[in-house]
Amino acid sequence: MHDGSESDKAHKIAEIQARGRQPLIEILAFGLDEKAAYKVEAAAIDLLGLKNLTNKQAGHESSLYGRIEVSELDARFDHGELTESDFLEDAVLVKVNQLYRNGMSDFELYEVTRGFWRVDKSKIEGIHLALAVYDGMVLEAYEIAAWLPAGSGMCAARSVSQAESAHRMEFVGRVADQCIRDRYVGKGVSGLYAPGGANPIRYVRAAYSRKALVEINRVLEDIELTGEKREWCSNFSFYDPQQDDPYGLENSLNDLLDLAYRGGFVPVDYGVVYQSIGKEDIAVRKASKKELLELSDCQLVSILGYQFRGDHFDNGSWIRTYVANGLAYHYFHELAVRWGCA
């Protein structure tokens, strides 16, 4: 009550006393250890709003345990853990623990995620996916258009000195396609960071998916270039036990199907394969060069998922329809070229 400092709190007490009144002191909770007391303090400050108080700072760890919308809380704690084998795209993970706060707008989150960072130029080359990570969870996924020297663009989140700009970079881009967001946003990535590591940047290479794609493309290319093998595929049936297989293709194609599933080219949720494909008939014909250029990687994977989905209960149909006609090779090869696997 007798605070002689020049703090906002002291001025507020003096203002109340000048009106002939005394501040009322109430105990919100007692018998708490220090950790629990900090959480109660943070909750009270969040409830009243810092702007209505004279506290110099928000409650202890309020950004982690403080006021939050139910949907955001659900997203934070209701997620699975990602491992490197779950990544179908190369990605750069960006920790924003020091910059993120609950209730940030989409634009504010994008701004704090995109820069400014010390990144290895040799490692970010070819990476087109950035994941914003807070408290071990992916908050958002961004498609990277380009990496630029720090300060090249206008950044609403913070500024950078000329000295820093020589060693740091920023990216520009947009929120990733929904099928990519569904794969990563809300998932945990704590296991991908070294314990106690201070570097906010982590690079992830989709190694397994690339290896699977190389093998899938190799098998399909061999069939595509061999007329006799394509003819065999066009007549293939699982229901003919006497069917001759001089090329051993049945085993190869079954291995290919297994690779496609384990490589993540067939979505677990078949509902996503119909999203963003573009023209409805494109999965059952060969897209033109112009159409291929207009398709994103996500759309290509969706087309392949569509083809596999049509075959879900009859692999023989898939072999006759998509392998024999070169459709599977057409789209797998395009993806392999883009990913540097062809």
The highest-confidence range among 19-23, 66-70, 91-95, 337-341, by mean pLDDT, is 91-95
Helices 227-234 and 207-224 sit at what angle, rounded to 10 degrees?
100
Question: Using only C-alpha atoms, what is the Rg of the chain?
Answer: 28
What is the rounded average pLDDT of the residues 44-58? 56
Token pair of 143 as six digits:
């498609």
Q: Is 58's pLDDT higher than 50?
A: no
E strand or H helix that includes residue 316? helix 315-318
Token pair of 221 as six digits:
């290319």
E strand or H helix that includes residue 169? strand 169-175
Q: Is 46's pLDDT higher than 70?
A: no
Task: Give SS3 for 197.
Answer: coil
E strand or H helix that includes residue 131? strand 129-134
Give me the pLDDT at residue 205, please: 79
Give me the pLDDT at residue 77, please: 56
The percentage of the chain sitting over the pLDDT mark of 70, rounded to a whole number, equals: 76
342: how many CB neighbours lie within 10 A of its CB?
15
Q: What is the pLDDT of residues 281-340, one digit of tens each?
A: 888 899 999 999 888 777 787 788 778 765 555 677 888 889 999 999 999 999 888 877
pTM for this model (two decimals): 0.51
Contact 88, 141 (CB under 8 A): no
pLDDT band at 150 (very low <50, low <70, confident <90, very high): confident
Q: What is the pLDDT of residues 96-147, one digit of tens each?
A: 998 998 778 999 999 999 988 999 887 888 789 999 999 899 999 999 999 9
Residue type at 43? A
Task: Spell out the domain ranges in the chain.
Answer: 8-65, 74-205, 208-338
Q: What is the overall mean pLDDT for the chain?
A: 79
pLDDT band at 5 (very low <50, low <70, confident <90, very high): low
The DSSP symbol for 50 reads G
